[in-house]
Amino acid sequence: MDSSTQKLEIFIQAPDLQIPTRALTLTPNSTVRNLKLSFLSQINSIHQTLASSSFFTLNGRLLSDSDTLENSGVTSLSTLSLRFRLSGGGGDGGATGAESRDCYLNMYAEKKPDKCDPNEQRLSKWLNCALSNEPLKHPIVVDHLGNLFNKQALVEALLTKKLPKAFSHIKGLKDMIAVELASIPGSDSPSSSDVKFQCPITSMEFNGKYKFYALKTCGHVLSSKALKEVKSSTCHVCHKDFAESDKLIINGNEEEVIVLREKMEVEKMKLREKKVKKVKNGGLGVNGDMDVVKVSGTKHGIDLKGPLKVSGKIETNGNKTVDGLKGNGKRFKASDSAPAHANKEVSLPLGRN
């Protein structure tokens, strides 16, 4: 279908204006600025002034006014948030009268990049995949550093070998932990708030304001408050046992991530040592004894079944001994009887018994 005739229905939220969510219909080749002017013209007569001090975000990502809706990743039924920059000023502005007009012109010659709200950036980590920046949707996985991913996006990056260096510690499925996030009732509606998940015990929103832990044994994600107030060694949802080391913090701060990385390296080192030890023990017998030789059969009336140690002393009728295979056994006469523990190193003469 031609993009000039295709229509997109877009939902607009403006928390700073304290107005309900509104819906607009535009074409994909419309710019973000056109969308902004169209929206502001419905609520304010001085929308030109508001347009210069406002910006749109999509899932916490800042949208440029000059980009088209299609290039910005806006699809039908997308929900955009309109935010306003705080106005600065310090009274007289600190002007001394000595500055030339060119000084001010040079100051604004290059357009400075728009500053994104820190709250929006924080919220984006809890709502979107750390790899694709798309909204989180099941199946969801977490790595050993507490980063959240859409499993499909992560697997595709591993298969195509396009995983960023920041996630180089992820080598395969063994480095992912499947997690179960509890959805907020009614969060699937386009007009609902950005937050989609919550703690299944305390109903605290999964928005970065509170600490959350993933349990490695079962994958359920619970708030720190739920784990503290209801102290138990079993999951509050599925009642599966877990240890303190099974608690993995989600989107931890810098110090917490450093601790998780050190713990991850220690576990990898233990796994490597275990593999090396297994390879070394692979060539030994069950008991690890290289001196044991298994033989079978009966010769000269001696039962040789089962493990038989090569070393040992054999007593002859001349009160001399043969030490293992190193000594020289005495030859017996035809009239002599073989010792009880004779082996094939003891020679018997040919002839009649």
pLDDT digits (tens, 9 = 90+) for 2-34: 555 678 888 888 888 788 888 888 888 889 888
pLDDT tier at 337 (50, 70, 90 boundaries)?
low
Q: Is the pLDDT of residue 223 over 60?
A: yes
Q: Is the pLDDT of residue 288 over 50?
A: no
pLDDT, residue 199, reads: 94
Q: State the residue for tokens 């955009």.
A: 80
Determine the pLDDT at residue 49. Answer: 65
317 HSE (CA, 13 A, CB side): 10
Interatomic CA distance for residues 29 and 1, integer angstroms: 13
Q: Which two tokens stand for residue 123?
A: 């919220």
User: If you average pLDDT over every residue of the chain, what do you get?
Assistant: 75
Q: Is 72 left (phi over 0), alpha (psi -120 to 50) or beta?
A: alpha
d(CA 303, CA 286): 23
d(CA 161, CA 174) in angstroms, rounded, equals: 16
- Residue 341: band (very low, low, confident or very high) from pLDDT cuts 50, 70, 90: low
Residue 179 pLDDT > 90: yes
For residue 352, the model assigns a pLDDT of: 43
Evaluate if residue 153 carries a pLDDT over 80.
yes
The answer to whether residue 154 scores a pLDDT higher than 50 is: yes
Percent of all residues in the chain with a pLDDT value above 70, rounded to a whole number: 65
Q: What residues are paired with 301 via a beta bridge?
A: none
pLDDT at 148: 93
Q: What is the pLDDT of residue 156?
A: 92
Highest mean pLDDT among 44-48, 100-104, 299-303: 44-48
pLDDT of res. 52: 75
Q: Does the reported pTM lie above 0.85?
A: no
What is the mean predicted confidence (pLDDT) over 321-341?
A: 49
Higher pLDDT, 293 or 227: 227
- Give mean pLDDT, residues 88-101: 48
Residue 311 tokens read as: 């070393």
pLDDT over 80 at 131, yes or no? yes
Q: What is the pLDDT of residue 222?
A: 94
pLDDT in tens, 43-62: 765 555 677 778 888 887 88
Instruction: Look at residue 138 and tell me whether its pLDDT is greater than 50.
Output: yes
Question: Is pLDDT above 80 for 100?
Answer: no
pLDDT of 261-284, one tens digit each? 999 899 888 888 888 887 777 644
Q: How far is CA 162 from the centre of its chain?
A: 16
